[in-house]
Structure 1
Amino acid sequence: MTFEEAHAVFILHHVERRTGERKGRLVRGHNEAERLFCRNVWWPVRGSFDDLHPEYEVRDWRGMSYFCDFVWLTQPVKLVIEIKGFGPHVRDMDRQKYCSELNRETFLTAMGYQVISFAYDDVSQRPEVCTTLLRMVLSRYQAEPGPTERLAVLEKEVIRLACRLSRPLRTVDVREHLLINHRTAVRVLQALCGKGWLVPKEGPTAKYIVGYELQRGAWRSL
């Protein structure tokens, strides 16, 4: 099934199951930005629209309806995805709207949702950035890997750790972060060096490796 076919079925499925304002909001609200996200970001990553809900209604702490651009609902994940244009979300936003948006995102977090946002400019012009970041988020919720996949999962987690640190990665960092033994930590680091994602950093005497530096762009492999 092509994207156009799958997207049409996806929207029709939700339209037919809604009434009133929930239906009207979907018909009116699923516009260019949301369609581009489906085409450029979600479809390349997932290849289907299973468990994705467009214009999803959530009641806030005041009992008022708020419609999220998308919510991905699985057990036990509740992921809110927002597409934000510079105009309505930055240039044209006053202090009250700014406060309301932050309060709403905090409330959603308190209700068990994870909220992520993508800039419209990235969705339309630099979708590869969005697909990489989306894969990183969704990979946190993948099923428990089998023995043959465990090393690849550990490698990705080490790259994430290296991205967060502002210094060369050490074996002890990997060991403590992943709760694995020294031998496994070394194995993962060596595998990442072999794939060109990490570069070993030698000490002053060049006899020992004292750390590992992340290659530029390695995070795009996630």
Structure 2
Amino acid sequence: MHPNLSRFIESFEHEASLTGKFRSKLDKTALVFLEQVWGAAFDYNYDGLRAEFPFIDHKGGQRFADFVFVKNGVRLAIELDGFTTHASHITPGEFNDHLARQNDLVLSGWLLLRFSAWQTAHDSRRCIAQIKQAIGHWWSVAYNGQTSYDVKLWETRKTLLIQLARRRDAKLKPSEVAREFRISNRTAIDWLKRYEQEGILRGLKSGQRITFYELSIPIEQ
């Protein structure tokens, strides 16, 4: 096993023991993914990759994504499915819950990829190609303002910011936006100012400085 992979596993298990995560050990499918897919794709560099990542679903409950990659504005979630995930071994309610979990990730602003356990073990090249394509897509959208994706990107950000504001009594702090999207405070302020100019938000001052941004559209919309 590559030393970097050993360190990644040790770090995960240490964090799991401290936080009491539902899963304290990575299963065989996850280990195969880390070795044969991610490790092979990125020369065993696991910077930005996290396992069993917690997120809040639409009901306010805590869920976990198998893996997420968060770095330089990229928000990629990766789910690994065993063969029985959608087979007759699970109830209709469990199946619906599984799909809702996937949708919650997408609606929270993540780009989602799903691979089967068989694919990670026997078709790693395709998994690698799709992961690199997904990361490349994020970069082209986020950092090339002249691409055809630019308008769509800002519209998506607007939707996600409105959703975030509604969860916070229609008010947003730049620090909250920065934390939610894994961006700098400066970038968060730039986003908020742009939507203020579009009439979506309005700045609320404390003294001479804007400290909050408030939705300027009806909360029920």
TM-score grouping bracket, smaller chain normalisation: 0.5 to 0.7
Q: Is 1:105 matched up with 2:102? A: yes
Worse-matched range after superposition: 13-22 or 112-121: 13-22
TM-score when normalising by structure 1: 0.57
Greater Rg over alpha carbons, structure: 1
Worse-matched range after superposition: 3-12 or 114-123: 3-12
- Name the structure with the higher helix share: 1
* Kept after mapping to 1: 8 A contact 2:52/2:67: yes
Aligned to 2:59: 62
Structure 2 distance, partners of 1:91, 1:45, is 34
Q: CA RMSD in A?
A: 2.1
**Code of the aligned partner of 2:2:** E
Aligned to 2:164: none
* Kept after mapping to 1: 8 A contact 2:51/2:68: yes
Q: Is 1:117 matched up with 2:114? A: yes
Structure 2 distance, partners of 1:16, 1:82, is 22
- How many residue pairs get aligned? The number is 140
Deviations 1:102-136 (CA, angstroms, capped at 9, x unpaired) = 22222211111111100111111121221122222
Select the residue among 77, 84, 109 that pairs with 2:74. Answer: 77
Q: Kindly tell me: are residues 75 and 90 of structure 1, through their superposed partners in 2, closer, same or farther at Cα, counting changes over 3 Å? A: farther
Corresponding residue SS for 2:46:
coil
Corresponding residue SS for 1:50:
coil
Q: Where does 1:156-195 land on structure 2 (aligned, <5 Å)? A: none
Aligned to 2:13: 15
Q: Kindly tell me: are residues 45 and 91 of structure 1, through their superposed partners in 2, closer, same or farther at Cα, counting changes over 3 Å? A: farther
Aligned to 1:42: 38
Structure 2 distance, partners of 1:106, 1:93, is 19
Structure 2 distance, partners of 1:65, 1:21, is 13
Structure 2 distance, partners of 1:91, 1:46, is 36
TM-score when normalising by structure 2: 0.57
Deviation at 1:21, TM superposition (A): 2.0
Q: Kindly tell me: are residues 17 and 87 of structure 1, through their superposed partners in 2, closer, same or farther at Cα, counting changes over 3 Å? A: closer
Aligned to 1:33: 29
**Code of the aligned partner of 1:53:** R
Corresponding residue SS for 1:41:
helix
